[in-house]
Structure 1
Amino acid sequence: MGSPSIFAALAFLIVAYTVGSVRIINQGNEGLVERLGRYRGKLKPGLNFIIPMLDAVVLIDSIRERILDVQPQAAITKDNVALQVDAVVYWKILDLERTYYAVEDIEAAIRELVITTVRSEIGKMRLEETFSLREDMNKALLDQLDEATEPWGVKVTRVEVQKIEPPPDVIESMQQQQAAELKRRATVLEAEGEQQADITRAEGTVKSIQMLSDALKERPNSKEILNFLIAQSYVESNQKLSASDNSKVVFMDPKMLTEGLVDLMNSPTQPEAPNDEPPGRRRRHRQDQG
């Protein structure tokens, strides 16, 4: 009767010992084991065995990449502008042993380190530079945080400054400055466009005058043609002036305009033939004919 009971008790102890010594670690995690209070080793993903009553699993943690979102923090720029800065940090554990024994709360330590580093970097930059040099600031933060967390067995893979928010009065001033700059650029572009248009029109006028001059040189009645073009331009200008919406009063001598147009229309199209007779002989010849 005693032997079966002893065997049953031994079997129970063996099963309990076996179950107590088995530790299963999921993929992406690691564990730390202490024996009698002293670090013994790591538990890798899969099936692991420990000695019950002697070994204790003190930590099972993830070694995958994590995200730490740092709440908006106050920072002051180089030109004394107060900002609210929001950052996010991507990090992971490389050496779980060092992380566990080097710092008590790794996330709190990284958060405080990020806040201190962000304030330091913002203090080196002017307000405009915090917006234009965002990538440079992210790189500087990454370099400093990665170097500072290396003794903790932690790797900071990326740092992103999500939002930089100045005070409302500073935002309003920046908007006014931007609007003034856009208006100035538009004015400059408009002036440059008008200048280019004037140059183009002037070049066209010069070219037209040159072409007209070349054409008149080939005609014997060039003077009469030029007078006609001038009179035509004068009449067209007066027509445009009278068609304007604004009231205008133009003082001119109708007789002179009429006589000028009549003389222009009655002017001979061909120049008079030259006469080699002296003026006295031509007068006597007319008197004889009379």
Structure 2
Amino acid sequence: MESIVAALALLIVGYTVGSVRIINQGTEALVERLGKFHRKLTAGLNFVVPFLDTIVLEESTRERVLDIDKQKAITGDNVSADVDAVVYWRILQLERTFYAVENIEEALESLVTTTLRSEIGRMSLAQTFSSRNEINQALLHQLDEATATWGVKVTRVEVQSIEPAPDVLRAMELERAAESKKKAAISEAQGKKQAAIEEAEGAVQSMKMIADALKSQPNSREIMKYLVAQRYVDASYRLGDSPNSKIVFMDPKALTEALSELIDPNAPPPSQHPLNPPKE
């Protein structure tokens, strides 16, 4: 009798121990009874029926990271590029994830790759560089809709890099260099134009000031002679000081006559000047 009681006690203890399941925080488990889904075990102390219930899956429900390797994609302007991304996702309904899809990570990777290629194909190469946030948001929206029946939630998608082929990169560098040279040439031309305009305006303003000043002077003719002579001396000095200066031979008589004519347009021609009688 005592042996029967001991056997029953041992059986009860074994049954009790076998029915206890402890699930860690951030983890859930699926229980099947006689091959059919029965219930889901959450974090903490849980009990199952030995021999009838079987724990078929114990999985984390924390957020995970899925790194997508570089994939070939064709942009809207037919440029080949290597694109990679990283996806953050988590399981919301473990029973759907287990029974709706065979391998959730493989399914997610295939879906992200297809969606990423499709989104890149809608843009030109230049747009892909400047619209990274738009691509991320479009991928997140499409993936969230596609994975709703799998019991998972895609929380964030980040396109890490978009790398065109080396020959395309070289062509882009040459194009950028040419564009920079063009902008520099335009800026230099505009600067020279503005400088010339300002110099001309300054010369006009200077001439106007000189003319106004000479109007009020009785000896304006002598002042004009002095200014012309001063300009001539300055020009001669700059010509001689220049590293590539040239020697210019000028007849002093002709120079004097030219200056006289410039100062006094009403003066008689050199051939009729009293100091220059005509040659016979």
1:38-90 deviation digits (Å, cap 9, x = unpaired): 11111111111111111111111111111111111111222222221111111
| Aligned equivalent of 1:51 | 49
Query: How far off its partner does 1:184 sit?
Result: 0.9
CA distance in 2, matches of 1:61, 1:260: 105
Aligned pair partner of 1:150 in 131, 148, 151: 148
Structure 2 CA distance, aligned partners of 1:14 and 1:214? 124
Q: Distance in 2 between matches of 1:85 and 1:99?
A: 28
Unaligned runs of 5+ in 2: 261-280
SS at match of 2:162: strand
Residue 104 of structure 2 is aligned to residue 141 of structure 1: no
1:157 and 1:9 map into 2 onto residues whose CA distance is 54
Which of the numbers 107, 110, 114 marks the counterpart of 1:109?
A: 107
Segments of structure 1 that go 5 or more residues without pairing to the other structure are 263-290
Cα RMSD over matched residues?
Answer: 1.9
Of 155-164 and 75-84, more deviation after overlay is shown by 75-84
Q: Give 1:83's aligned residue.
A: 81
Distance 1:181 1:238 in 2: 43
The TM-score with structure 1 as length reference comes to: 0.84
Partner SS state of residue 156, structure 2: strand
1:281 match: none
DSSP 3-state at the match of 1:209 = helix
Matches within 5 A, 1:240-251: 240-251=238-249
2:139–2:157 CA contact under 8 A, matched in 1: yes
Structure 1 residue 151: deviation in Å? 0.9
SS for the counterpart of 1:231 is helix
Q: Which moved more, 1:199-208 or 1:140-149?
A: 199-208
Instruction: Answer whether contact 2:239 2:245 (CA < 8 A) is retained.
Output: no
- CA distances 1:18-42 after superposition (whole Å, capped 9, x unpaired): 2111111111111111111111111
CA distance in 1, matches of 2:6, 2:128: 74
The structure with more radius of gyration: 1
- Out of 228-237 and 129-138, give the one that drifted further: 129-138
Aligned to 1:8: 6
Q: Distance in 2 between matches of 1:149 and 1:69?
A: 17
Matched letter for residue 30 of structure 1 = E
Flag the 1:120–1:261 CA change in 2: closer, same or farther, 3 A: closer
Give the corresponding residue for 2:276. Answer: none
1:206 aligns to what? 204
Match of 1:125 in 2: 123
Per-residue CA deviations over 1:79-104 (Å, capped at 9, x if unaligned) read: 22222111111111111111111101
Match of 1:167 among 132, 149, 165: 165
Q: Which deviates the most, 169-178 or 13-22?
A: 13-22
Aligned with 2:24 (options 19, 23, 26): 26
The count of aligned residue pairs is 260
For the residue of structure 1 that corresponds to 2:217, the secondary structure is coil
Q: Which amino acid aligns with 1:124?
A: R
Quote the Cα distance in structure 1 between the aligned partners of 2:257 and 2:101: 110
Q: Distance in 2 between matches of 1:214 and 1:247?
A: 36
Secondary structure of the equivalent of 1:225?
A: helix
Whichever residue aligns with residue 137 of structure 2, its letter is K
Which secondary structure does the structure 2 equivalent of 1:64 belong to? coil
Give, in angstroms, the shift of residue 257 of structure 1: 4.5
Structure 2: how far apart are the matches of 1:101 and 1:260?
108
